[in-house]
Amino acid sequence: MSSYKISINQMAEFSTATSSTKRRIIAQQLNPDILRIPWYQLPKARIKKSFELKGDLRPIQEAIQILLNRKPISKRQVIDRQVSLEAMQRFIEMKIPSIFKEIDFSIIKPGTRSTKISGVEVIVAPEIVVKGRFKNKTVIGGVKIHISKNNPFDLQKSQIVASAIETYLQNEVVDEDSIVLPELCICLDIYGGRIVSCSDVNNSIYNEVIEICNEIKLYWDAA
């Protein structure tokens, strides 16, 4: 049997893609670029720090100054700097969910970045996974940060990501002494200007994720 694997962002893109784009997505999964350098590492790291500090924007403001002082050389560096600066300015205008300010939590590092959904290994890899206390319960949550100027998520894709975060936490992180809190399972889409939690997701989205994974297997086997 093939080892089906896809990243959560690619799964979200797959959900509304044309047949040709679906084939391209699967081809990328079958032949991943192992030398690919991640984009926008600084804003993601500083947004994570801002969440950790309950919405404190000083890490963002410091990063903006770092980038303003940086002299990019390559075309990639120019684009990364420009988009990163704009992304952090956009984040400043957004408000993190109030629940992150109301509870005491710490950042944790799960032992795995992925989970199986309907036989497909979905690489969820939230930038932030938190564990804290809420209403006398130990709660778990996670945040996926999406920065894409050309391909922001619509509401449905954000809901798909949020639901996958909850599934990942339920399968791989929660233990007998804790629960996954839907309000803490967040898809943060900077260019979509949207913060969607699992509390906004209904059962149809979970069913859709399963259908997407089943379709991924069909395209994978046909590749």
Burial class (CB in 10 A: 0-12, 13-18, 19+), 96: middle
Determine the pLDDT at residue 166: 97
Same domain, 86 and 103: no
Tens of pLDDT, residue by residue over 179-204, are: 999 999 999 999 999 999 999 888 89
Q: Show the domain range for 11.
A: 5-33+98-222
Tens of pLDDT, residue by residue over 98-151, are: 999 999 999 999 999 999 999 999 999 999 999 999 999 999 999 999 999 999
Determine the pLDDT at residue 170: 97
Domains held by the chain: number: 2
Same domain, 151 and 79: no
Interatomic CA distance for residues 95 and 182, integer angstroms: 18
Percent residues over pLDDT 70 in the chain = 98
Same domain, 137 and 56: no
Same domain, 176 and 108: yes
Same domain, 130 and 189: yes
User: Which phi and psi angles does 45 have, rounded to 5°?
Assistant: -65, -40
* Closest by CA position to 129, among listed 112, 145, 147, 106: 106
Confidence of residue 61 (pLDDT cuts 50, 70, 90): very high
Same domain, 82 and 163: no
Confidence of residue 1 (pLDDT cuts 50, 70, 90): very low
